[in-house]
Chains A and B, each alone.
Chain A
């Protein structure tokens, strides 16, 4: 890679503010190296220098550069059956509760957002096929969405390396994948057809609303990238995207209770998840107080 001159503090601030307005993701001086690398990658890919010329190009959104720039900032590395205790909770507790709340024949809708390159929504599908006795009688809709359109395109292709499959048994790999070259495997067509992929930015209500209501949302390890205001907006968008009584699963280091009081905390044997109350919303001070001494 050609080395691009480092951005100044003011340039860093300007481009981070641009990124924040577009995505809700907040990067500061502490992430200078991370931001610089991605700017350098884009400038090298386009053969554009200096930075101010690239920034003008970015702001004009020439040739869809904003989308490409945002794609460069999303963290996409994940693997199948990551945090599988939540998948166990899904098949042991969450879906049974949602089935009881639904009319006969009504589809169960599960949303993986952000879905990166598809490991999570495919994991959900495989897990249910392997572990949920009702999988044959319920109508299940699984949707994976991500702000990064290159990711969703890759997810639809469904091709993975050995690292992504490291948590799956050889039997599962044999059953749900076909070899696709050296150390590469592709999800079998039937499974690929069982998962839909779309673009969505969870800080934009106009984008989340297009996806309708879900029974379970997996939204793991993304809210940590947002500042407080964007986290609140995202939490409200996710609340709206849940059917009353629906559940949301966050990453193990994340807590909805620290973001929004709208949800109820539900403790199951395998996981702590958050639930949209059946009627209205919580919003009644579910968070810890601020008293002291």
Chain B
């Protein structure tokens, strides 16, 4: 048998350094350790405001998601309006990973003045309990004028929608009556809501 077992000579990783110092490898290690510290939130907040390496930033978002408090979610929320698509995506993924912490922020986010923020927030609503998500998304559909935001809300409702959501979907349809894509999306959503749960997926 030629396979050989060898004892590992690998040394454990070095202790993390301060978050703002060193190479990206060292900063990565430092931010990964930060969530376990009592002052982790402040450390991660500071690191997020300064960090430019995408990989380290991803670890900061994970650390904030691990903390999963409304305060850690509040630190991530501003990045939903970043001009950097990677940062926006990172922020959405981090918030999606802490649905309970994200919950208190959603009504405000779904009413944000920035349509892109409202659109991304529709996706976050998917992580709420169905009843709450339905209520928030139906409220949005009743007032929303941006087609893409409505389309995002309809997509989520197609998956988690309850019969109570149908009137809001129908009223939304009247506003986009000349738009074939929206008509199709609304048809799919209402049909799926009407279907027995076992047939939905």
Contact = CB atoms under 8 A, between A and B. Distances in A.
Given A209-B13, A280-B24, A283-B54, A292 B119 contact: yes
A285 B55 contact: no
A260 B89 CA distance: 11
Interface in A248-293: 260-262, 280-285, 287, 289-293
Contacts of B92: 290
B65 A284 contact: no
B62 A285 contact: no
A173 interface: no
Contacts of A125: 3
Contacts of A136: 2
Given A125-B3, A232-B97, A240-B13, A281 B8 contact: no
Interface stretch (A149-157, A159-167, A177-185, A193-201): A193-201
B13 A228 contact: no
A284 B90 CA distance: 9
A131 B181 CA distance: 52
Interface stretch (A40-48, A63-71, A83-91, A138-146): A138-146
Given A129-B2, A228-B96, A211 B8 contact: yes
Contacts of A285: 54, 85-86, 89
B123 A293 contact: no
Contacts of A282: 54-55
A196 B89 contact: no
B4 A190 contact: no
Interface residues of B, number: 47
B66 interface: yes
Contacts of B4: 139-141, 194
A283 B55 contact: yes
Contacts of A262: 55, 58
- Which of A209, A213, A232: most chain B Cβ within 10 A? A232
A2 interface: no
A222 interface: no
A132 B153 CA distance: 51
Nearest to B80: A290
Interface stretch (B38-46, B144-152, B160-168): B144-152
B58 A283 contact: yes
Contacts of B59: 236
15 contacts: A129-B1, A139-B6, A194-B3, A212-B9, A228-B93, A228-B96, A229-B97, A229-B98, A240-B13, A280-B53, A283-B56, A283-B58, A284-B86, A290-B120, A293-B148
A128 B68 CA distance: 43
Interface of A: 107, 109, 125, 128-129, 135-136, 139-143, 188, 190-191, 193-196, 205, 209-213, 227-229, 231-233, 236, 240, 260-262, 280-285, 287, 289-293
Interface string B144-186: 0001100110010000000000000000000000000100000
A290 B88 contact: yes
A232 B61 CA distance: 9
Interface of B: 1-6, 8-13, 24, 28, 32-33, 53-59, 61-62, 65-66, 68, 85-86, 88-90, 92-93, 96-98, 119-120, 123, 147-148, 151-152, 155, 181
Contacts of A236: 32, 58-59, 62
B53 A283 contact: yes
Given A193-B1, A290-B119, A292-B155, 16 more contacts: A107-B6, A141-B6, A194-B5, A205-B33, A209-B12, A229-B66, A232-B65, A232-B93, A233-B62, A236-B32, A262-B58, A281-B58, A283-B54, A285-B85, A292-B151, A293-B152
B147 A293 contact: yes
Contacts of A292: 119, 148, 151-152, 155
Given A196-B5, A210-B12, A280-B24, A228 B89 contact: no
A251 to B, nearest CB: 19
